[in-house]
């Protein structure tokens, strides 16, 4: 008869190369997992020794070896899983952001079309897991899709989208509507955390943009906004250190478009900042139209950015995000795929590959580029959702962290420092489609013959 301690063995995942992200890389490394958490991380030899001497020494040990790279589960910092069934929109070519948006609305607004948001969202979550993603910032527009992350027992935040409100109707019924929505979503999502996503400063007037952060913060929820995505959100590059130097700041504007049409060329980032909406509990998607002053504001407020370079090309944002500047200046950055309605896949490694090329094209010469991209797609994604510290921390492999891992099929060459750097460069440039197994909270959620 099996004794009780056999029921939950310690699982040791060993690999040719372990990248803990919060510690130096480990050739011939291993991670010991008990229940849903990391117990030890180090060289395989050290981990086995520590287990045999520590408080878990009476437990049975099961080893799973991976001949490749083991790293923290990937974090997709911006997606809309419910649009997984709208890939036809993402596969066409457009002449402007408006054209893309119109093509999206043709399907979204057509009540005669069958749009199984829940099935599409759950399918998207399953795809994320296959790509090695264990957490996401998922925006839900239709409540039935709100359980997507939870359906795969993933981590991250389900952000309820709020869009299309004008000041008068918002003031009349908006806050009550939102409180009802949050209550219903909490039942749908269960373990998945709920956040609020005020869509964008061109789809919401000032009253909801003032209220939404207050409501979210009072309820302990985080926020996520599309910001600086479209050409209409660009501004001048003047600095705003002084609160009295720019007269537009002392007026009340009904909306961002009203401010722009009055002739004041201020960026959407600066407008939203003036409303008091920014802070370390919010991260923005895209940040394409972010000049030096905008990037300074984001750093000063502690706001992270989810870069979605492939989506920007499909929706015709007309330029790429300033990737090299973000890296040089030290902004908090992460990576998102956006949805299949504006992206060819939900594999965050496809966007990482494009970010590598963009950073080099834009003049980023640092030898640390591969290292920084690996950080962006793991710890950076955790950080922009506030999931980088505390008992629910992810995006890193260290004792006590949740056991979320990806196992990439990348040839590991440790014969020299140069060969090691080439291995990392290969991971970030050619890592797309190489995930072979995914572990979420210590459970094997996907295994394509990895072990
Ligand atoms: Zn989006």
The set of residues, in sequence order, having a beta carbon less than 8 Å from that of 352 and lying 6+ positions away, is 335, 373, 376, 377, 428, 431
CA 356 to ligand 1 centroid distance, Å: 21
Read off the pLDDT of each residue in 424-447 and give the average, rounded to a whole number. Answer: 98
CA 377 to ligand 1 centroid distance, Å: 17
Fold agreement between 4-73+395-447 and 74-384 = no
pLDDT confidence of residue 185: 86
Model confidence at 5: pLDDT above 60: no
CA 284 to ligand 1 centroid distance, Å: 10
Q: What are the Cα distances from residue 298, in Å, to 233, 270, 282, 287, 292?
A: 15, 9, 10, 10, 10
**Helices 206-218 and 167-189 sit at what angle, rounded to 10 degrees?**
30
pLDDT confidence of residue 239: 62
CA 285 to ligand 1 centroid distance, Å: 7
Which pTM does this prediction carry?
A: 0.96
CA 206 and chain centroid, separation: 26
CATH of domain 74-384: 3.20.20.140
Model confidence at 208: pLDDT above 70: yes
Average pLDDT, the chain: 94
- Report the alpha-carbon distance of residue 249 to residue 112 in Å, rounded: 45
List pLDDT tens digits, range 131-146.
999 999 999 999 999 9
pLDDT confidence of residue 245: 63
Model confidence at 95: pLDDT above 60: yes
List pLDDT tens digits, range 168-194.
999 999 999 999 999 888 876 554 589
The set of residues, in sequence order, having a beta carbon less than 8 Å from that of 25 and lying 6+ positions away, is 17, 18, 19, 420
CA 306 to ligand 1 centroid distance, Å: 10
pLDDT confidence of residue 7: 82
pLDDT confidence of residue 107: 94
List pLDDT tens digits, range 267-304.
999 999 999 999 999 999 999 999 999 999 999 999 99
- Per-residue pLDDT band for 248 (boundaries 50, 70, 90) equals confident
Model confidence at 204: pLDDT above 60: yes
The token duo for 316 is 């015709």
CATH of domain 4-73+395-447: 2.30.40.10
Domain map of the chain by residue range? Answer: 4-73+395-447, 74-384
Residues with CB under 5 A from ligand 1 (ion): 338
Model confidence at 243: pLDDT above 60: no
pLDDT confidence of residue 352: 98
């Amino acid at each position: 008869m099996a004794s009780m301690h056999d029921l939950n063995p310690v699982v040791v995942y060993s690999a040719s190369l372990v990248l803990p992200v919060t510690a130096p890389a480990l050739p011939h490394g291993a991670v010991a997992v008990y229940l849903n958490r990391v117990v030890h991380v180090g060289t395989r030899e050290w981990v086995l020794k520590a287990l045999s001497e520590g408080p878990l020494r009476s437990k049975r040990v099961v080893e799973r070896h991976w001949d490749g790279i083991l790293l923290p589960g990937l974090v997709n910092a911006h997606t809309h899983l419910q649009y997984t069934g709208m890939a036809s929109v993402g596969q066409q070519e457009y002449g402007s952001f408006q054209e893309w948006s119109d093509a999206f609305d043709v399907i979204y607004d057509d009540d005669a079309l069958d749009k199984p948001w829940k099935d599409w969202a759950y399918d998207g979550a399953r795809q994320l897991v296959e790509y090695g993603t264990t957490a996401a910032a998922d925006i839900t527009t239709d409540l039935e899709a709100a359980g997507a992350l939870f359906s795969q027992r993933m981590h991250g935040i389900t952000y309820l989208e709020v869009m299309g409100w004008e000041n008068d109707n918002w003031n009349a019924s908006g806050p009550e509507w939102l409180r009802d929505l949050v209550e219903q979503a909490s039942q749908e999502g269960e373990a998945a955390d709920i956040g609020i996503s005020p869509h964008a400063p061109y789809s919401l007037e000032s009253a909801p943009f003032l209220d939404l952060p207050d409501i979210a913060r009072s309820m302990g929820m985080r926020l996520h906004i599309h910001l600086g995505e479209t050409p209409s959100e660009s501004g001048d590059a003047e600095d705003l250190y002084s609160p009295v130097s720019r007269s537009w700041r002392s007026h009340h504007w009904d909306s961002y478009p009203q401010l722009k049409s009055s002739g004041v060329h201020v960026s959407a980032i600066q407008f939203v900042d003036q409303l008091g909406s920014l802070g370390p509990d919010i991260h923005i998607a895209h940040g394409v139209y972010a000049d030096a002053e905008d990037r300074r504001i984001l750093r000063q407020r502690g706001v992270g950015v989810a870069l979605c370079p492939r989506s920007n090309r499909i929706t015709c944002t007309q330029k790429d995000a300033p990737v090299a500047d973000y890296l040089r200046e030290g902004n908090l950055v992460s990576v998102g795929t956006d949805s299949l309605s504006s992206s060819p896949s939900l594999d965050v490694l496809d966007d990482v590959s494009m970010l590598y090329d963009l950073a080099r094209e834009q003049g980023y010469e640092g030898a640390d580029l591969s290292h920084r991209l690996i950080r962006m797609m793991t710890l950076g994604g955790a950080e922009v959702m506030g999931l980088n510290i505390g008992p629910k921390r992810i995006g890193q492999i260290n004792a006590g962290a949740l056991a979320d891992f990806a196992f990439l099929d990348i040839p590991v060459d440790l014969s020299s420092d140069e060969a090691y750097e080439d291995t990392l460069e290969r991971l970030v440039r050619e890592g797309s489609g190489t995930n072979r197994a995914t572990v979420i909270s210590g459970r094997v959620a996907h295994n394509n013959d990895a072990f």
